Amino acid sequence: MTDYKEGKILLLDKPLDWTSFDVVNKIKYALKKDFPKLKIGHAGTLDPRATGLLIICTGKFTKRITEIQDQFKVYTGSFFLGATTECYDTEKPVNQTFDISGITENDILQNVEQFRGLITQTPPAHSAIKINGTAAYLLARKGKEVNIKSREVNIYEFDITKIDLPHIFFRIKCSKGTYIRSIANDFGQALNNGAYLSTLRREDIGEYSVEDAWKIDNLIQHIQEESKPEDESL
């Protein structure tokens, strides 16, 4: 059996509506019998409404989490133009709508340039960023005011791959700490309109690709088969 205690990097294709911790806990439970005190963690959160590459590190390889987190990310997805939500994605209902009849394809394409290179963005109030030790989203859910400092991030590539209004499809390559939800919200504001992130998929983290990732059910099945005594697996 694979020695997960010595260290293993697992690439997972996170399903829609799973939290990153759901994935970690599922794998940890599957390995509990053979590795009861196994260290395990993920190298970069994916929001519940996002799918795609989630990297899980086990055992001694948990020391590599920071190194992996520091690498660039590639995302594909879509913005919905003409509406906003409180959390900038589809976890919350639409709270405001806008007329998009005057917005042209050229307006959208020209709008992209200001989001390339080094940009300053403010992460959403509904995020895992800690404020005095408490996750911002927990404060936001209680209706408390959340003041998150803006940060500088690097957008290496930002391409519009398709426009089918109200949907705008994109591919973004960015530095760590970038909130694509914030780009969606800011993109709408820059058009004197509104937008939210309607779909998101993480394709790559540095050299790691979702094309090489396990589906969660397949990985659990693999772990269970590895765990069987040799005479049972014959």
Query: What would the pLDDT profile of 22-32 be if each residue is shown by its tens digit?
Result: 999 999 999 99
Same domain, yes or no: 191 and 212 = no
Active site residues: 47
pTM of the model: 0.92
Read off the pLDDT of residues 108-131 as tens digits, 9 standing for 90 and up.
999 999 999 999 998 887 666 766
Cα three-residue angle 188-76-187, rounded to 5 degrees: 10
The answer to whether the beta carbons of residues 68 and 206 sit under 8 Å apart is yes
Distances (CA, A) of 168 to 34, 92, 162: 47, 20, 6
Work out the average pLDDT over 1-26: 95
Read off the pLDDT of residues 33-84 as tens digits, 9 standing for 90 and up.
999 999 999 999 999 999 999 999 999 999 999 999 999 999 999 999 999 9
- Residue 223: the pLDDT is 94
- Is 193 inside any structural domain? yes
Same domain, yes or no: 40 and 107 = no
Backbone phi, psi, residue 121, to 5° = -135, 155
Q: Domain total for the chain? A: 2
Q: Which residue has the tokens 């399903």?
A: 15
Domain that holds residue 185: 73-205
Query: Count of residues for the chain?
Result: 234
The answer to whether the beta carbons of residues 58 and 39 sit under 8 Å apart is yes
- Residue 123: the pLDDT is 84
Same domain, yes or no: 64 and 77 = no
Same domain, yes or no: 136 and 166 = yes
Which CATH number goes with the domain that contains 50? Answer: 3.30.2350.10
CA 17 vs. chain centroid, Å, equals: 11
Same domain, yes or no: 159 and 174 = yes
- Is 35 inside any structural domain? yes
